[in-house]
Amino acid sequence: MAIEIEGSKSFRHRIVLSTLLGQTIRVTRIRENDMSPGLRDYETDFLKLISEVTDGAEIDISKTGTMFLYRPGSVNGRSVTHACHHSRSLGYYIVPLLLILPFSKTSTEVHLTGVTNANDDLSVDIIRSTTIPLLTKFGIPEDSMNVKIIKRGPLPVGEGEVVVTTVPVKEFHPIDLTELGLIRSVRGVAYSTKISPQMVNRMGEAAKLVLSDYLQDVYITTDHWKGKDAGKCPGYGVTLTASSINGSLISTELFGEAGDVPEDIGQKVACMLLKEVAEGGCVDVMHQSWALIMMVICSENVSKLRLGDLTQQTVECLRSIKELAGVMFQAKWDETNKTTILSCYGIGFVNMERKLH
């Protein structure tokens, strides 16, 4: 029997939970009052990708796109090649895969083409510097997943290429990330495609100049791409990751748009990082909701996570978790630093299909 859900919010969270828990869902009233009702092209494309990395999944979308039925299949290791919709970056697709594919039967290799960097989604660089290390805190071995950039491809055309490889694991382990601690270092990447390398240097130096007032250990590498490996469009941006003495990682990023001055981008992304750290959470806003899902599927024990201001996406994710997994989080407000500690009891999800070698 399908679980009935309404609306378009928390779309990927619902699909990830449905896939892992084997819960059939029927989602209705998707943007039904919108000027352009129904699923967006990139959402339909995401469902297609999920069907490609699973066996036996059934997806039935109404003609108007305002309703769909998703009956998940089993996650099976294989090699998949998928051209992602260019209106979203590859990060939109990769992050959910990193939660689903570890519970496959065998190793998986997914080749994705499309936009590698944009402002609406996690970039491939942040996934490498922050998302995967966050997963390792849940007991995932460091060498069990990798995201490799073959080609960079910024907006609007993209044509970048990324390879995602994962090895199956048995389960996620509970976490206790409640103490951010002092920031000890900042690492970053200033990247560009089909523009002068001087632009990259200017962005990196501007970001470092802001951060050096607060921290000495700041290192930003430059990553300049040209030729056939740089997509078809010029582009540039900066990603920054702050590491605390307790192992927390806080990231921000900014992709330049037409007319942006490199120094302005560097300064702005550095200020964004300072603001994010000041929130006091042990993960940044981009990772809040995904960390909560990881906590839910952990082995049967309590996980705790300190967050700064909860985003609307995080609130919607908590509702989806309650609807699909039946898990409710306990929230404890900390007046001293204006943060919230969320805790839950893991459902004890175990990969029973994993083949041992």
The widest CA-to-CA distance across the chain, in whole angstroms, is: 59
pLDDT in tens, 205-233: 999 999 999 999 999 999 998 888 887 78
Distance CA 50, CA 76 (A): 11
Mean pLDDT calculated for residue range 17-40 = 96
Is residue 355 very low, low, confident or very high in pLDDT (cuts 50, 70, 90)?
Answer: low
Q: What is the DSSP letter of 127?
A: I
Is residue 281 very low, low, confident or very high in pLDDT (cuts 50, 70, 90)?
Answer: very high
- Quote the pLDDT of residue 357: 47
pLDDT in tens, 112-122: 999 998 888 99
User: Which of 3.30.110.150, 3.30.720.110, 2.60.40.10, 3.30.1300.10 would CATH assign to domain 1-75?
Assistant: 3.30.110.150
- Quote the pLDDT of residue 356: 55
Distance CA 39, CA 44 (A): 7
pTM above 0.85, yes or no: yes
pLDDT in tens, 248-272: 999 999 998 778 899 999 999 999 9
3-state SS assignment for residue 145: strand
What token pair was written down for 212? 């050096």
Specify the residue for token string 């679980």. Answer: 3
Q: Do domains 1-75 and 177-278 have the same CATH topology?
A: no
Q: Where are the chain's structural domains?
A: 1-75, 177-278
3-state SS assignment for residue 292: helix
Distance CA 92, CA 179 (A): 29
Please state, rounded to an integer, the average pLDDT across all residues of the chain.
Answer: 95
Q: Spell out the CATH class of 177-278.
A: alpha beta
Is residue 42 very low, low, confident or very high in pLDDT (cuts 50, 70, 90)?
Answer: very high
| pLDDT exceeds 60 at position 28 | yes
Alpha helices in the chain (DSSP H): 11-21, 41-52, 91-100, 124-126, 132-136, 197-211, 262-278, 288-296, 312-325
